[in-house]
Structure 1
Amino acid sequence: MPPSSRPEVFPVHTPAASQIFTTVLSHGPLTRSEMAGRTGLSAAAVTKAVRPLIEAGYLVEDVDEEARRALGRPANPVRVDGGRALFLGVKVTGDELIGVLTDLCCRIRVARHLPLTDRDPKPVLAQIAELVRELLTEADGFGVRVRGLGLAVSGDVDRAAGAVRYSPFLEWRDVPLAELAAMTTGLPVTVDNDVRALTVAEQWFGAGVGLSDFAVVTVGAGIGCGLVVHGQVVAGAHGVAGEIGHVAIDPAGPLCHCGNRGCVEAIAGEEAIVAAVGEAAGVQVADAAEALAFAHRGDAGARAVYARAGEAIGRGIATVANLLGPELVIISGEGLAAYDLFAEQIRDAFAAAAFGSAAQCAVRTRPLPFEEWARGAAATAIQSFITTDQN
């Protein structure tokens, strides 16, 4: 195993230590009294949790010597030392691998793209190993070890088992990806659904910091949704919580690849839009960029397709708001390139379908490059490192 990838366990595996560390990670620097206020822990419990984390170098206390001399024992802020550990994140798409090397604060240090030559699990694993080797070489230049690898894959992913149950874009079923990738790379591996991974990054490091209830809806090749309820990313009993792409809103609508009709994804997913624009225009449309060009040139049929897609997305978001009552819904994904064509329909459909005070949920767009999805994968690896007992 390369020196940069030798495993090291987090110094303290207690609920209090994890809570304190993630609080400082997301909100820091914080004084000990501020930690107590945010977590509800006693001053003694905070001190007990902070001490070993400082001794191990994961937390750093910023001491103001002048204030110390003047006041005796001032309240010093404590922050996470982002350079204390490195992590890898890889987003697996149907066409390429996007890999990032991040620090402990999930700041991207290096990003790499690698085209996929084959979607079968074995060659994909070989290419993941190739990308990991390249990133580990980059990590050696930082002089800090890589603690874990996160892999983000679309579809039905069982994080606890480390398995991809079904990924329609890769055409995978029951692939034990975490086990296989760990054997191939020698790293601790976390595998999660790509939208849930992105949601972890938004919760800890992005637009969801400080919110106890919010959702991330992604628009693109598929329609995904990550949910945070009472401060926890929700996967559900079977790992498919938040699949609003497969909420049927039109029983007589187009056939979805899941087998049902009129799903949000069958109307607003990239493949569905391309097919519908081609049918409306009476020509073969090659891809989403060409479909978008038709609409932007003013083709009435193409614009109607995007309007219908916006209505479907708005109704899907309203379903989330009605069921869970989040404070915020973040819309992201590559499909935002067409946002000007369906923004009004999303707003109108959401307002019409949201029940009562659910309509008070804020809806905002947040365009994110694919590197951010890989960063989400790294965030799950950081999360596993902090919260999982590896002894």
Structure 2
Amino acid sequence: MDMQAAERIALLRDASGAAARVFAVILTRSPISRIDIAKTTGLSQAAVTKAVTPLVAAGLVDDRLEVQRAGQPGRPVSPVAVRPEALAAIGVKINVDELIAVATDLRTNVIASERVPLEAHDPDAVTEAVVAVCGRLEAALGPAASRLAGIGVAVSGDVDAASGEVRESGLMGWSGVELGARLRVRFETPVILENDVRALTIGEHWFGVGVGTASFAIVTIGRGVGSGLHLNGEVVEGAYGVAGEIGHLPLGPPGRVCECGRLGCVEAVASSGAIAETVSLARGEAVTIEEAARLAREGDEVAVAAFGEAGAVIGTAIASLVNLAGPELVIIGGEGVADYDLFEAPLRDAFEAHAFGAAGRCRIAVRPHTFEDWARGAAAAAIRTLVR
């Protein structure tokens, strides 16, 4: 790591609460005037200036921009903006059968990316694969690798970000895996382990729909059903690192067994694997989720019913989430949105049937996320940890 990058990282890590808030606002809302920073943070303009000065001196922020406000002749506004190239990050999304990894700048703009298969998904094999893919991304960064500030790794399941433990991951078949500790001894750069949906929510909070949105939730459908919550300006993490796990609400038929081992979970009905299994059992032959979707679009009654049941359970789960937390927007993402046309009507019917009162005003929008977006979320989690 070059000396200037080390000084920038030290400045952010040692920043006071006020200075960290100022930098977070500049990072996520650049370019922005000092006046607007003061309004957003609730700090005085003098406090904002005090916080901005060392950031400019360190090369993290640029204050040499001039913008003329439309319709307001005279002295131009002098906004400040983050310098994205000042530091870099790496984000890795762990799937059962592959790793998706990106190297990014401070605003998670992708500089380089890798997508590699996982030959095995035991913890040792995954650790080695993550180390290898990060090494290739560091090489791809070239000179910018000397400014690498953090590595974020995202995995499905109950993840304790503070300790770096994957307490439980049904999709990976893990329980009590100290993945963070395994990785931290292999890198000089700080490593952050995070739940994959929460990492995606952090990315949207800082660099996506969350900017300027008071509250939202992300619901992901696909191999699993997950959720992340952004309320009152913060991503909800929960006292024990578990929050928004709608995939494990017991809203499905009590006889259905989830990959987590429990009965009646939403995932046991609505994950892509569960839908494919339902259709397979009814037809007496193995059917993939792609084949199930094709059958449903062709009007096959069994496939239509399987997607309808999944949509109704997801809609009920979203209504439960909205009734409890009250977000203004729910974003549906994940690989399962490719088949959203098969879910939509029963999902919205169930949501409208169960949303209480004004909670029914919550907007539901579909936003396809690529796996690269999930990896960018992991990078965002690493950047947020540094800034906070």
TM-score norm. by structure 1 comes to 0.93
Q: Which amino acid aligns with 2:382?
A: A
Identity %: 45
Residue 205 of structure 2 is matched in structure 1 by: 203
Q: 2:111 aligns with which of 109, 118, 124?
A: 109
Amino acid at match of 1:363: I
Describe the SS at the equivalent of 1:218. strand
Alignment gaps of 5+ in structure 2 = none
Name the SS for the 1:147 alignment partner.
Answer: strand
Residues 181-229 of structure 1 deviation map (CA, whole Å, 9 limit, x = unaligned): 1211322000000000000000011112112221110001110000112
Matched residue pairs, number? 382
Ranges in structure 1 where 5+ consecutive residues have no aligned partner: none
Aligned residue in 2 for 1:249: 251
- Which region of structure 1 is more displaced relative to structure 2, 233-242 or 168-177? 168-177
Which residue matches 2:324?
A: 323
Secondary structure of 1:258 counterpart = coil
Q: Partner of 1:344 in structure 2?
A: 345
Q: Show the 5 A alignment for 1:67-82.
A: 74-82=76-84
Structure 1 residue 74, shift from structure 2 partner? 4.9
How far does residue 261 in structure 1 lie from its aligned partner after superposition?
2.5
Q: Secondary structure at the match of 1:293?
A: helix
Match of 1:354 in 2: 355
Give per-residue Cα distances to partners, 1:337-389, cap 9 Å, x unaligned: 110111111111101100000001111000011000000000001111111xx
1:175: Cα distance to partner? Answer: 1.8
Q: Kindly indicate whether the alpha-carbon contact (under 8 Å) linking 1:31 and 1:78 is maintained by their aligned counterparts in 2.
A: yes
Q: Indicate conservation of the 8 Å contact 2:169/2:260, yes or no.
A: no
**Secondary structure of 2:159's partner?**
strand
1:150-203 deviation line (CA, Å, top 9, x unaligned): 000000000011111111111122222222212113220000000000000000
- Look up the equivalent residue of 2:194 and give its one-letter code: D
**Superposed, which structure 2 residues align to 1:169-188 within 5 Å?**
169-188=171-190
CA contact (8 A) 1:198 1:373 kept: yes
Residue in 1 aligned with 2:94? 92
For residues 222-246 of structure 1, the C-alpha deviation after alignment (integer angstroms, 9 at most, x for no partner) is 1000011211111111111111001
Shift of 1:142: 4.0
SS in 1 for 2:11: coil
Residue 25 (structure 1) shift: 1.7
**How far off is 1:252 after superposition?**
3.1
The one-letter amino acid of 1:27's match is: R
Shift of the alpha carbon at 1:4? Answer: 11
2:26 counterpart of 1:32 = no
- Offset at residue 143 of structure 1 (A): 6.5
Q: Distance in 1 between matches of 2:4 and 2:170?
A: 32
2:62 match: secondary structure: strand
Distance, in Å, in 2 between the alignment partners of 1:271 and 1:74 is 57
Match of 2:138 in 1: 136
Contact conserved, 2:111 with 2:141, CA < 8 A, in 1?
A: no
Residues 99 and 371 in structure 1, CA contact (< 8 A), matched pair in contact too: yes
Return the letter of the residue paired with 1:244: I
Q: Distance in 2 between matches of 1:214 and 1:94?
A: 28
SS in 1 for 2:209: coil
C-alpha distance in 2 between matches for 1:91 and 1:198: 10
* Counterpart secondary structure, 1:298: coil
Deviations 1:88-126 (A, max 9, x none): 000001000100000001111111011101111111111
Partner SS, residue 185 of structure 2: helix
Letter in 1 for 2:312: E
SS at match of 1:224: strand
In 1, the alpha carbon distance for the partners of 2:378 and 2:355 equals: 32
Q: Quick check: 54-63 or 153-162, which moved more?
A: 54-63
- Deviation at 1:55? 0.7
Within 1, Cα distance between the matches of 2:97 and 2:322? 33
